[in-house]
Structure 1
Amino acid sequence: MPATQPLPVTLTGRHVRIEPLSLHHLDDLFAAGGDDDEVWRWLGRPTPRTPEDLAAVMADLLEDAGRGAYVPLAVIHRESGRAIGWTTFMDIHLPDERLEIGFTWYGRAHWRSAVNTETKILLLTHAFEELGMGRVQLKTDHLNVRSQEAIARLGARREGVLRRHRRRPDGTWRDTVYFSLLAEEWPEVRARLSARI
């Protein structure tokens, strides 16, 4: 079966619900980490200082989604019912059965919790088992050790580094560390991640 285009979707776990991102999530997202320098440090955009700044970032993302470049999804903390971050399907290439999970952030209160693991289980299950992807990649700044460790804990394999890959908002250059999971690796990785939840 050929890979199919990801579309806005709702996916539900025990701790989080993932749903299509929209501007009605703005207030929750700004409260969760919209103006937190540490949350935005590695995201390739300046830290939004006001709800209007964050709305502009969201509007750009939603505009790109309208062109099929991204599928942005809000991450909802089920216990509180509030949006605590977002994630996207991006770099989608159906002929090669691949996509990327990226432009992900969560409010600092949810770091090192079940949120990231369960979010990734839901997204990876959808990508491999429902969309028919053969490869899912994740990437991060080479200086973002916390993110690299989180990706490695998911079971993704570190593939390499693209040097001087992107300019950061402060004008310095980022090297980008790439990781991936393949469809044939997913059943074992899923079992291990599910046991952690």
Structure 2
Amino acid sequence: MGEHTITLQGLHVSLEPLTLEHAADLNAAAADGQLWQLWFTSVPPPEQMLDYISKALLEQQQGYSLAFVVRHKMTNAIVGCTRFCHWDKVNRRIEIGYTWYSKSYQRSPVNSECKLLLLDYAFNQLDAIAVEFRTHWHNDISRKAITRLGAKQDAVLRHHKIDPNGVIRDTVVFSIIAPEWPAVEQNLRFRLHS
């Protein structure tokens, strides 16, 4: 993915390339709900936002990540971020992760449209055969949202990671494979227009 940057446009959101200049807007977005206090997510506190963005941009330069801010079109506000990550070009697999939204925009059309834009790009532009999602075992809201997209649970990676506070995390892995994409796309479009 490297220096490749794109903007993905929907009706409700615009996914724009992440830059260091977005730090203040992302801090404001994360403050809506004080998302960094949720122990089962990876939303950075304000003092770590620049490092969070810098790491995302480094992974992008290394060719296996592509990071976006999520702009809500009606309000023009940055309401979160998301990215393609862990791109395995040889095996045509990619993950959509590091996704979070301001509390005010959760359970709105924002997530469905972001995922529609990202999945469409992954399957139709990157020629992915599988798109993966991962979340913390204890993040019930995220697990339900991923399931509502049409993703299937593949596995639970027990003792997968050690969080910064020393807690050992179990990670739930979901995926959508290419043959499932047409039905998933139809469902997402239906949900956005109903």
* Aligned twin of 2:180: 185
Q: Is the counterpart of residue 13 in structure 1 residue 10 in structure 2?
A: yes
What is aligned with 2:76? 81
Aligned residues: 190
Cα distance per residue 1:63-104 (max 9 Å; x no partner): 222112311111111111121111111111111111000011
Whether the 8 Å CA contact 1:34–1:54 is kept in 2: the answer is no
Alignment counterpart, residue 105 of structure 2, candidates 102, 110, 125: 110
Check conservation: 1:137, 1:181, Cα contact below 8 A.
yes
> Is 2:179 the counterpart of 1:156?
no
The answer to whether structure 1 residue 95 and structure 2 residue 85 are counterparts is: no
The equivalent position to 2:139 in structure 1, one of 119, 126, 144, is 144
What's the TM-score once normalised by structure 2's chain length?
0.92
Matched to 1:11, the amino acid is L
Matched, 1:28 2:25: yes
Looking at both structures, which has the greater relative contact order when contacts are Cα pairs under 8 Å and sequence separation is at least 6? 1
Contact 1:140 1:178 in 2 (8 A): yes
Relative distance call for 1:55 and 1:34 in structure 2 (3 A) is farther
Q: Give the gaps of 5 or more residues in structure 2.
A: none
Mind listing any 5+ residue stretches in structure 1 that lack a counterpart?
Answer: none
The offset of 1:40, in angstroms, is 5.1
Cα distance in 1, alignment partners of residues 5 and 58 from structure 2: 14
Aligned-residue offset at 1:34: 4.9
What is the percentage of aligned positions where both structures have the same residue? 37
* Contact kept? 1:33, 1:39, Cα under 8 Å: no
Corresponding letter in the other structure for 1:41: W
Give the superposed CA RMSD. Answer: 1.7
Q: Separation in 1 of the partners of 2:65 and 2:182?
A: 26
What do residues 114-173 of structure 1 show as CA deviations (whole Å, max 9, x unaligned)?
Answer: 000000000000000111111000010001111000000000001110000001121110
Q: CA deviation at 1:49?
A: 3.6
* Contact 1:142–1:176 (CA under 8 A) maintained in structure 2: yes
Partner-residue secondary structure (3-state), 1:68? coil
Judged with a 3 Å threshold, the aligned counterparts in structure 2 of structure 1 residues 23 and 38 are, in CA distance, closer, same or farther, namely closer
